[in-house]
Chain A
């Protein structure tokens, strides 16, 4: 069985998204879980200008766009059983659109409580429950839950929450991740450093809290890993990496598998640099966890994760020209989609054919300095000088 390292090393760019009129950072990527014969495979990308763009996966052209304006959108997720795409909005709602229909107004709207600002969310594996995390407002940072099932009667509905958790985080809830196969388990991460695991089948919040792990920093990314997904990994905004094994909650063995304060200091990159972490990738077939990181110039690094640490395995280059912010690995065809601050969406596929590809340097978004400073033309200066 080919290891993921080898697959990764063999990746080449086969497609690049065409430039759009408004360059924007590509902050999140998700691909449709339903494959319909004769129809395009869809990719949804979260853009920093507050929109979700739907692309055709093979041609990488923009099919349609949805907006959360005037609020900002956070997170992007396809449903598991259909092509509904969801995103959480700072206006206090989670919005749902039909990715196949160019209709501006959301098909479904999940309303939060007054003054909720949603910055993270997820939908569970059977599409029944949506959970969104809020910014800290006054003293509260909430996890809000809704019933996500579409009612056949109304086409466009607004739903109120089922309830909320309010006692387990003391700062912005930056990540929410449901378990890949157990619809009742969810993990949340916050800038208070805590990673909370809940069994939402249990009635009250205190009893639903299975365990709390502490990254002592600010959580930027969390994921599930391991056989039957009983492990949790988390990355922090200051480039730390933590890995916990929930199998050991009731044994004498330690729950902590790995505890790295600053990955940039411990991973041996040889001559290269590691500037930041992007996310994690658990490969079911080989039961291996990988960490993906990058450089500010756009190089992507794949690292292996074991209890003895992170090891750099291979890198991808010639793709992005700036910080890489999102990726999505497709297990079916071993392809990789990456999105960066250079506004590019790249499709990488395994294969021996080396396609020459020119980096789009011009896609780098002009820094605010350049946009503010006005260059005076030489002519006008010379004219004045002559006088």
Chain B
């Protein structure tokens, strides 16, 4: 591992977080997040620490994606039971703010074919404001892979209030999957810092309803 966290420490921490006995009972699935505190980093003058991390396992199993596709993409989506809309359905929304808002609320992410993405302004800026503007459907071979790609992406942004928290998984992942996700996230985030490891003060993981588990 390129960071200061040994594989052993990470595995132990993940085991603790995933399997530690928990008295509270609740219906929802806890997310696991990675918290990173920086040092020797001045948000007023250093380059903004912000972007998108790409992981290997889903962040939450119920992530819903809608495909706004040209005919071929809609057919592929239909074949795997993935929600989709074609250009006709899109035009029917006709800038109706309520319908566009409903679309934005219904799905966690939206993907669109190149030809349809050009037409999105037809809907007005509703998707922009909701933070649900579609990502481009990559020319990957199958629809499942295309949809999965957006499920594995998580945005992060260091606001003035440190530390930075990034979702890296959920309680139903296996130890291995969570370890790998955390490894990818740490590697990528540390690579963006100009002093790499020297800019990291602490790394912790935490499930929503539990305390911090220190990695470094």
Contacts and interface: CB of A to CB of B under 8 A. Distances in A.
Nearest to B45: A48
A152 interface: no
A255 B117 contact: yes
A19 interface: no
Interface in B126-153: 128-131, 133-136, 153
A357 to B, nearest CB: 23
A236 B156 CA distance: 13
Contact of A323 (B50, B115, B130, B194): B194
B120 interface: yes
A104 B22 CA distance: 62
B118 A249 contact: yes
B40 A369 contact: yes
Nearest to B49: A237
A159 to B, nearest CB: 27
A217 B114 contact: no
B136 A237 contact: no
Nearest to B195: A296
A25 to B, nearest CB: 5
Interface stretch (A75-83, A166-174, A281-289, A377-385): A166-174
B157 interface: yes
Nearest to A196: B128
A212 interface: yes
A168 B129 contact: yes
B47 interface: yes
A87 interface: no
Nearest to B53: A238
A220 B47 CA distance: 9
B45 A254 contact: no
Interface centre among A236, A254, A296 (most CB of B within 10 A): A254
Chain B residues touching A, range: 35 or more
A333 interface: no
Contacts of A218: 48, 50-52, 155, 157
B44 interface: yes
A2 interface: no
B172 interface: no
Interface string B32-51: 00000001101011111111
Nearest to B191: A264
Given A27-B45, A210-B121, A369-B40, A217 B129 contact: no
Q: 10 closest Cβ contacts across the A-B interface?
A: A238-B51, A48-B45, A218-B50, A170-B131, A167-B125, A237-B50, A168-B125, A254-B114, A217-B52, A217-B51
Interface of B: 39-40, 42, 44-52, 54, 95, 114-115, 117-118, 120-121, 124-125, 128-131, 133-136, 153, 155, 157, 188, 191-192, 194-195
7 contacts: A25-B45, A27-B45, A168-B128, A191-B50, A214-B133, A218-B48, A325-B47
Interface of A: 24-25, 27, 48, 72, 167-171, 174, 191-194, 196, 205-206, 209-212, 214, 216-218, 220, 236-240, 248-249, 252, 254-256, 259, 261, 264, 275-276, 296, 323, 325, 367-369
Given A206-B125, A218-B157, 4 more contacts: A216-B153, A238-B52, A240-B51, A369-B40
